[in-house]
Amino acid sequence: WREMAKQVAHEIKNPLTPMRLSIQLLQQAYKDKKPDMEQRLERVTKTIIEQIDTLSSIASAFSDFAKMPKASNERIDLCDSLESVIELFRETSENTSFEFEKNGIGEAFIFADREQVLRVFTNLIKNAIQAIPDEQEGKVIITISRQDDMFVVSVKDNGTGIDDDVIDKIFVPNFTTKTAGMGLGLAMVKNIVETASGRIWFETTKDQGTTFFVALKVYEEQ
């Protein structure tokens, strides 16, 4: 926790200095009655807004991570949860198409915290989208199937794949290859899945894509 807090403080401090500096420069330009004030204002505002968004996402990632332990389990339909996450991404993603293959499964009852289950798949799908280069047409395929007493969900992307040298690190808190990443997503996902006695693993091929698998226990009614 101490390490994590240090890292968060560092991530927050990083953008503060350039933010302060650019406001000061803007203030000076105003005092000097610089002729291009409008462009300056435009530029500085844009940068500051971007920095604020970064800070805000760092704060949410950290607080999501901190909120973790209290699971309030109930009988939930995994298909239903997946559908609502996928729908949300469909509405908000431009260059990516989403498919949901249910393999004949109508309802998939598990005993889990709905909020946490949504978080798991939101994270996996968000990572899938982010792994796809901007200039490429994205395709994310989500499947659900039943294997003995487990439901197995897969989230497959046609992104960059995961480099060999980082394969061992991706579930480690703080590990990220993204400039604005916090590296808490997969650590949290793994924690949630394993706390619910599930399993998570992945397969990846460089430049072809990655598939994450999550297995969760079938809830048999008494």
List residues near ligand ADP by CB under 6 A.
123, 127-128, 131, 157, 159-160, 162, 170, 175-178, 181-187, 210
State the nearest-atom distance from the C-beta of 7 to ligand ADP, in Å. 12
In the chain, the N- to C-terminal Cα span, in Å, equals: 40
Contact 217, 198 (CB under 8 A): yes
Closest CA to 160 of 133, 136, 179, 142: 133
In the complex with ligand ADP, which residue's Cβ is closer, 26 or 155?
155
Closest CA to 144 of 102, 111, 203, 84: 102
In the complex with ligand ADP, which residue's Cβ is closer, 76 or 162?
162
State the nearest-atom distance from the C-beta of 162 to ligand ADP, in Å. 4
State the nearest-atom distance from the C-beta of 180 to ligand ADP, in Å. 8
Which residue has its beta carbon closest to ligand ADP?
Answer: 185
In the complex with ligand ADP, which residue's Cβ is closer, 28 or 177?
177
Q: Rounded distance, CA 49 to CA 7, Å?
A: 22
Residue 186 in tokens: 């997969």
Q: How many helices (H) and strands (E) does the chain have?
A: 5, 7
State the nearest-atom distance from the C-beta of 80 to ligand ADP, in Å. 24
Q: Rounded distance, CA 146 to CA 106, Å?
A: 11
Residue 185 in tokens: 């997503």
In the complex with ligand ADP, which residue's Cβ is closer, 43 or 178?
178
State the nearest-atom distance from the C-beta of 222 to ligand ADP, in Å. 36
Residue 163 in tokens: 């480099």
In the complex with ligand ADP, which residue's Cβ is closer, 107 or 207?
207
